[in-house]
């Protein structure tokens, strides 16, 4: 089969005769049609994260059922499907993480396109248990971003945003996670970083979870205009703010830097003056280490910060006193549990997620995958790019 194979750092080859995947009795063989391009693909390509070559990359996959194993039920040839990029590898979900409902954090997690061969190939075989059908009216060129770009922020917003003390003091805590009565409904959200992950976060917060206000923060005006189309009620260009104030943040240290960060946070929250500057949830989708102190300054007391974007560098200024004083809940998030994916699929099928806006670059083929990675690095991809496999 044809596949995009990494043989080492920056050694990406398009191979025409790579071995077809071996399908097990409980597997589904999928003809991969489209994949989404993620910054993780770029990190693998540049050698920023370790991997065992040769490796077929690509973990945002939408395709069509080509065949299925002898013990597989519920699928027909031709079904349109998506695959979560991270799914359990333990037997019958019996590890401690899976038992706690964190199937996305299984002790033996399978990470498609990193730990095992991915979807930038003509075929891929995966367990039928972790293959999800989607209405064929949803274009596969858009559906391919659901497994990561949409599902990861969905999980963050749905399950990681509620502060622990509110959970403890609510008589029916399940209502806090139900869409009709979700905790974020009517509240204020700030999203740092508009792009492949930040865009869906803004769109979901505004349209699905019905936050009252969604403030988008970025350093590029083009991305901020994009955020408004996705549902942001307010936008802030943090770089423009510092430039207007004549502040060179990288040249500041100690109290001066902390003061500048605090002033920017006040500028961001000034958009919420009618709600007494209340920020109920802050999501860092940028992965930029300088952003973390700003998230702490921006969040209101007794509220939540969620790290959604992967941070390649450690945070230098960790404001632990501020975390204590503001009684903040700081949550990490990673992929999406299997039991939430059907809810995401239903939201997409009901047109509550604007996939047509989120997918901004559609012209890439498998042969041009390396070009797509370079364009991602150069900032030429506004939201999410998709790769046409066949």
Residue 10 clears pLDDT 80, i.e. is over it: yes
CB atoms < 10 A from the CB of 87, how many?
Answer: 25
DSSP code for 116: B
Positive or negative, the Cα torsion across 159, 160, 161, 162?
A: positive
Tell me the chain's radius of gyration from C-alpha atoms: 21
Q: Where in the chain is the domain with CATH 3.90.180.10?
A: 3-147+336-388
322-378 residue pLDDT tens:
999 999 999 999 999 999 999 999 999 999 999 999 999 998 999 999 999 999 999
- So what's the pLDDT on residue 289? 85
47-62 residue pLDDT tens:
999 999 999 999 999 9
Segment 211-222 mean pLDDT:
98
Class of domain 161-332: alpha beta
| 6: region left, alpha or beta (phi > 0 left; psi from -120 to 50 alpha) | beta
- So what's the pLDDT on residue 169? 95
Closest CA to 358 of 180, 154, 212, 217: 154
| Token reading at 77 | 């040839």
* Helices (runs of H) and strands (runs of E) counted in the chain: 14, 18
Closest CA to 353 of 208, 228, 231: 208
Cα distance between residue 316 and residue 167, in whole Å: 32
Fold of 3-147+336-388: Quinone Oxidoreductase; Chain A, domain 1 (3.90.180)
Residue 321 clears pLDDT 90, i.e. is over it: no
20-74 residue pLDDT tens:
999 999 999 999 999 999 999 999 999 999 999 999 999 999 999 999 999 999 9
- So what's the pLDDT on residue 317? 64
- So what's the pLDDT on residue 132? 98
Least confident stretch, 161-165, 227-231, 318-322, 372-376:
318-322
Residue 383 sits at the vertex; the CA angle it makes with 117 and 1, to the nearest 5 degrees, is 25
Residue 187 clears pLDDT 70, i.e. is over it: yes
Segment 255-262 mean pLDDT:
92
The per-residue pLDDT of the chain, averaged, comes to: 96
110-159 residue pLDDT tens:
999 999 999 999 999 999 999 999 999 999 999 999 999 999 999 999 99
Cα distance between residue 236 and residue 225, in whole Å: 10
What H or E segment, with its residue span, contains residue 257?
helix 254-269
Query: Can you tell me whether residue 17 is helix, strand or coil?
Result: coil
Segment 227-233 mean pLDDT:
98
- pTM score, whole prediction: 0.96
């Amino acid at each position: 089969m044809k596949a995009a194979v990494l043989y080492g750092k920056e050694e990406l080859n398009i191979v025409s005769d790579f071995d077809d995947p071996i399908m097990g009795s409980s597997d589904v063989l999928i003809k991969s049609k489209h994949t989404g391009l993620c910054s993780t693909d770029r990190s693998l390509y540049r050698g920023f994260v370790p991997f065992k070559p040769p490796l077929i990359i690509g973990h945002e996959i939408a395709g069509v059922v080509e065949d299925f194993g002898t013990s597989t039920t519920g699928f027909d040839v031709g079904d349109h499907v998506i695959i979560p990029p991270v799914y359990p590898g333990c037997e019958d979900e019996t590890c401690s993480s899976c038992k706690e409902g964190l199937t996305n954090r299984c002790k033996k997690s399978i990470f498609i396109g990193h730990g095992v061969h991915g979807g930038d190939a003509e075929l891929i075989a995966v367990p039928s248990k972790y293959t999800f059908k989607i209405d064929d009216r949803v274009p596969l060129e858009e559906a391919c971003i659901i497994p990561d770009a949409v599902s990861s922020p969905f999980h963050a917003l749905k399950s990681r945003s509620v502060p622990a003390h509110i959970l403890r003091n609510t008589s029916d805590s399940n209502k806090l996670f139900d869409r009709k009565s979700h905790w974020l409904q009517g509240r204020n959200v700030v999203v740092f970083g508009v792009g492949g992950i930040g865009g869906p976060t803004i769109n979901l917060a505004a349209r699905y979870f019905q936050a009252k206000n969604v403030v988008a923060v970025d350093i590029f005006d083009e991305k901020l205009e994009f955020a408004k189309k996705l549902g942001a009620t307010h936008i802030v260009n943090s770089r423009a703010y510092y430039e207007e104030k004549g502040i060179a943040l990288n040249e500041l240290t100690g109290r001066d830097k902390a003061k500048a960060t605090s002033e920017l946070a006040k500028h961001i929250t000034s958009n919420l003056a009618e709600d007494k500057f209340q920020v109920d949830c802050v999501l860092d989708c940028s992965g930029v280490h300088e952003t973390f102190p700003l998230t702490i300054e921006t969040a209101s007391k007794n509220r939540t910060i969620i790290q959604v974007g992967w941070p390649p560098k450690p945070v230098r200024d960790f404001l632990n006193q501020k975390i204590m004083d503001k009684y903040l809940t700081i949550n990490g998030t990673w992929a999406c549990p299997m039991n939430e994916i059907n809810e995401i699929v239903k939201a997409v099928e009901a047109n509550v997620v604007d996939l047509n806006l989120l997918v901004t670059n559609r012209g890439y083929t498998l042969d041009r995958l390396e070009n797509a990675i370079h364009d991602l690095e150069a900032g030429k991809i506004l939201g999410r790019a998709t790769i046409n496999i066949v």
